[in-house]
Amino acid sequence: MSASVTPLVDQSVIERSLAAALRRGADFAEVFVEDKRSTGISLDDGKIEELSSGHDRGAGIRVVVGDTTGFAHTADLSELGLAEAAEAAASVARSGGGGVREVALSPRRAHSPSTVEIYPDEVPKAVKVDLLRQADAAARSGHAAIAQVSAGYGDSRRRILVANSDGLIVGDDQVRTRFSVMCVAAGDTGLQTGYESLALTVGFELFDRFSVEDTARTAAGRAIAKLSARPAPSGVTPIVIKSGTGGILFHEACGHGLEADHIAKDASAYRGKVGELVASPLVTLVDDGTPADQWGSAAIDDEGRPSQRNVLIQDGVLTDYMWDHLRARKEGRVSSGNGRRQSYQHLPMVRMTNTYLLAGKEDPEEIVAQTPHGVYVAKLGGGQVNTATGDFVFGMTEAFLIEDGRITEPLRDANLIGNGPDVLRKIDAVGNDFDMCPGTCGKDGQSVPVGCGQATLRVTGVTVGGTAGA
C-alpha cells in the first residue's frame, strides 16, 4: 500500500505559503498539515460512561534561521490563514534582505506498512459499544471475585501532509484501532487489578484477528491470580522477562538516551560512545517504523522522511543514535525518520517508533529452567527514567517467583530498580519467541504511539523493590 500526497490543501497554496515563510531570509521552512478524526468509548460497571468523537484540522509552520526556530500553528487552512501563520513563524528571521525565494515542490510517494480493510468511521457506534459489552460479560463469567470491569475502545484516522523548502511534499493516511480491559478482583488480600489491551495500526478488522472476550478473560485472570499472590522478595535477584511487554523497559531505560536531542544536550549516558561496547554481545537494539501494522509504524515520520529500520546497538556495540531533520542537517547527515509530533500544534522532536531487541536462539522454557531462583516478569507497567544516568524504576504488574528452575507463586505488584546501561550488560540469555506490544510515549509534554518488543530474556541481577525479606 502506498501513501501519497494527501489532498488537504492545494499544492500551489502550499508553495506560496513556503515562499512567504522564506521571504525574510530563512534557511529552512516547513508546512505540516493534519486532519485527524477520532472516536472514544468507555464502559464502566456495565454502563457506557463516555462516547465521544473528535475532529482536529490545522497546520503548523516552522521557519529556521541559523539556530533559531520560529513556529506558528493555525486551524485556518485557507490561503490567508496559512500566510498569516507563515508570517508569524518567520518573525524570528533576520530583518532586511527582502528577497523572494520560490519553492517548486515535487510530490513523492512513501510505502505504507499497513493496509486498512475496514475503516472504523464506517462502522456503526452500536457495533463498537457491543464489543465493550461482550468484554464486560466475558470478564465476569465464572469469576465471582471480579468486582469491577472497565473497558475502552478507540480509533483514529490521521491524514497528514508535509512540505518543505527542500522541495519535499508527501502525505500519509494513518488509521489506528485499540481496545483495552481492566478488571478489579476483591478478596482477603484486598483489591487487585489486571489489565490487557489490543492496539494495531489497522482498521476495524482488528476484531477479526483478535477476540475481545479472550482479552477480557486475560485481564480477569491476572486480577484473580493476584488475590493469592505473596509479597515480592526485596533485593538484587536474577529476573526473566517474558517476551513482549518487557520491551518498555528498553524503550525507556535505553531508547530515550539514544535520541539525538538528549545527546546534543549532554543529557544521555550514551553520549560519545558510538563504537563502544555498551551492552551484552547478545543485544541488538533496533528502532523501526516499518513493521506491518505495529502501533508505532507509519509510511513517513512527521517531517516527511520515509520510516526506516535503524540499528542502534549491534551485538552489544553502539552504532548510532536516532535523528530528526534539523539535528541531522546540522551534523551533515540525513534524518533517520525519527522526527515526530503529537499534532499540528506541536514542533517535531526526536522520538522512537517501534523499539525492540532482536530475538536470540534459546528456548524460553530452558531459560527459566536454567534459573535456580529469581523473578519471572510477565508484564511490566509504567516507570520513570533519568536519561542522563539511565537510572530507572518500573512497576511489575504481573510477576511470579522462580524456584528451582520453575515458575511458581504469583507475586504482588512491586518495582524493578536499576540502571539501563547496567541491565543491557547483564543480559546473559535471549529467547527465540519475539513479541511486540503497543504503548504511548510521553516526552516534553507530547504523546505519540509507539511499539516495544523483545524475546524472553534473562538479566543476571536487578533490584526488586518488594516488601518481603531478601
Q: Where are the domains of the chain?
A: 2-226, 235-465
Centre a 10 Å sphere on the Cβ of residue 443 and count the other Cβ atoms it contains: 18
Reported pTM: 0.93
Contact at 8 Å (CB) between 453 and 436? Answer: yes
Distance CA 42, CA 129 (A): 9
Q: For residue 466, what pLDDT is reported?
A: 64
Query: Grid coordinates representing 437?
Result: 506490544
Residues in the chain, pLDDT under 70? 1-6, 92-106, 466-470
CATH top-level class of 2-226: alpha beta
List Cα–Cα distances, 21 to 66, 69, 441, in angstroms.
15, 12, 31
Closest listed residue to residue 426, CA positions, set 239, 286, 258, 271:
239
List Cα–Cα distances, 100 to 91, 95, 397, in angstroms.
16, 14, 59
Helices (H) and strands (E) in the chain, counts: 10, 24
Give the helix/strand (H/E) hosting 204: none
Over residues 169-213, the pLDDT tens digits come to 999 999 999 999 999 999 987 899 999 999 999 999 999 999 999
Q: For residue 4, what pLDDT is reported?
A: 46
DSSP state of 49: E
Q: For residue 162, what pLDDT is reported?
A: 97
Q: For residue 469, what pLDDT is reported?
A: 47
Q: For residue 105, what pLDDT is reported?
A: 58
Over residues 8-57, the pLDDT tens digits come to 899 999 999 999 888 877 899 999 999 999 999 999 999 999 999 999 99
Give the helix/strand (H/E) hosting 189: none
Closest listed residue to residue 294, CA positions, set 229, 215, 200:
200
Contact at 8 Å (CB) between 362 and 430? Answer: yes
Distant-in-sequence, close-in-space partners of 355: CB < 8 Å, separation ≥ 6:
247, 250, 251, 255, 285, 286, 287, 288, 296, 450, 451, 452, 453
Q: Given CA atoms 241, 244, 249, 250 in this order, what sign does their dihedral have?
A: positive
Coil/strand/helix, residue 130: helix
List Cα–Cα distances, 218 to 164, 226, 281, in angstroms.
47, 13, 35
